[in-house]
Chains A and B, each alone.
Chain A
Amino acid sequence: MDGILSNQIRTLRFHHGEMSQSELGQRIGVTRQTIAAIEAGKYSPSLEAAFRIAEVFGVSLSDVFQWERAGSGAG
């Protein structure tokens, strides 16, 4: 089943005092480049990393990541 995994990490970082990618990476145990890749939608994190990101921002997983089925918005 094809789909797109989008995320709100950039927005959430902004709302948390413009938290840097490096800081977020340090807090969840990944590199800055990995955060950049996740944010750009190029890399899908593990479930554990996803939960850690949500925990850092104090929100639920669905507030950080959204799954949209391919073609679901077409009509």
Chain B
Amino acid sequence: MFGILHVMLVLLDIESMWFYIAIHLKGGIVMPYREKIAWLSLIAMGVTFVPYFAIVASGRFADNPLPNLPLMACFAATTITQMIILGVGHLYLRSASPEDARTPPDERDRAITQRAMTTAYYALMAGVILVGCIMPFKQVGWSIVNAAILSIVLAEIIHYSVVVVSYRRQV
């Protein structure tokens, strides 16, 4: 039941995200290859982890006699879906512009990556402090695990968002 709900939420998200991607990739806007990869990673995370955290926040598994099993299955489904989206997306982008894919990152690409990683590092550190130092006094079990996953996802979203914004603003 929850698996079906999860798949439906993912499909709904994919549809709306695909509409946005179609405008940018097919609408004639020339986008750097690495920005496309960043968009792909953001979308893959959006369509998988937004439904995951929505299901977790709904508390559907709280009264389950074996709460670990459905939560682990949900997380496994989320990560497998994310990997499939990333794999297919990478293959598509690579086949669409093989020359761009082969081009090594230049100095500006490296500067953007460094800026994005620095920003994401501080977000991850804040998450680690929250999850590792503050939450254990108040929470237990899956709450801490999901908070850790959320902090990693947020750090990744910040990382790719900085990449996208940097390329969009040409800085």
Chain A positions near chain B (C-beta within 8 angstroms): 29-31, 33-34, 36-37, 40, 42-43, 45-46, 49
Please tell me if the beta carbons of A29 and B170 are within 8 angstroms of each other in the complex: no
Closest 10 CB pairs of A and B: A30-B106, A42-B170, A37-B170, A34-B108, A33-B32, A46-B107, A42-B171, A34-B106, A31-B106, A43-B108
B97–chain A nearest beta-carbon distance, Å: 12
Are B169's CB and A31's CB within 8 A? no
Q: Which residues of A contact B109 (CB under 8 A)?
A: 31, 34
The answer to the question of B167 belonging to the interface, with a C-beta cut-off of 8 Å to chain A, is yes
Q: Decide if A42 touches B107 in the complex (CB within 8 Å).
A: no
Shortest CB distance B64–A (Å): 50
Cα–Cα distance between A13 and B84 once the two chains are bound (Å): 44
Q: Is the CB of B32 within 8 A of A40?
A: no
Do A49 and B170 touch across chains, with their CB atoms under 8 A apart?
Answer: no
CB distance from B98 to the nearest CB of A (A): 15
Q: Which residues of B contact A (CB under 8 A)?
A: 32, 103, 106-109, 111, 167, 169-171
- Tell whether, in the assembled complex, residue B169 and residue A42 are in contact, meaning their CB atoms are under 8 Å apart: yes
Q: A30: nearest residue on chain B (CB-CB)?
A: B106
Knowing that A33-B167, A33-B170 touch, tell me 11 more A-B residue pairs with CB under 8 angstroms. A29-B106, A30-B106, A30-B108, A33-B108, A34-B106, A34-B108, A40-B170, A42-B169, A42-B170, A43-B108, A45-B107
Q: Which residues of B contact A40 (CB under 8 A)?
A: 170
B162 vs chain A, min Cβ distance (A): 15
Nearest chain-A residue to B31 (Cβ)?
Answer: A33
Whole-angstrom CA separation of A59 from B25 in the bound complex: 38
A20 to B111, CA, bound (A): 24
Cβ of A33: which chain B residues have Cβ within 8 Å of it?
32, 108, 167, 170
> B170–A31 contact, CB under 8 A?
no
In the complex, what distance in Å separates the CA atom of A30 from the CA atom of B109? 9
A40 to B103, CA, bound (A): 22
The chain A residue sitting closest to B169, CB to CB, is: A42
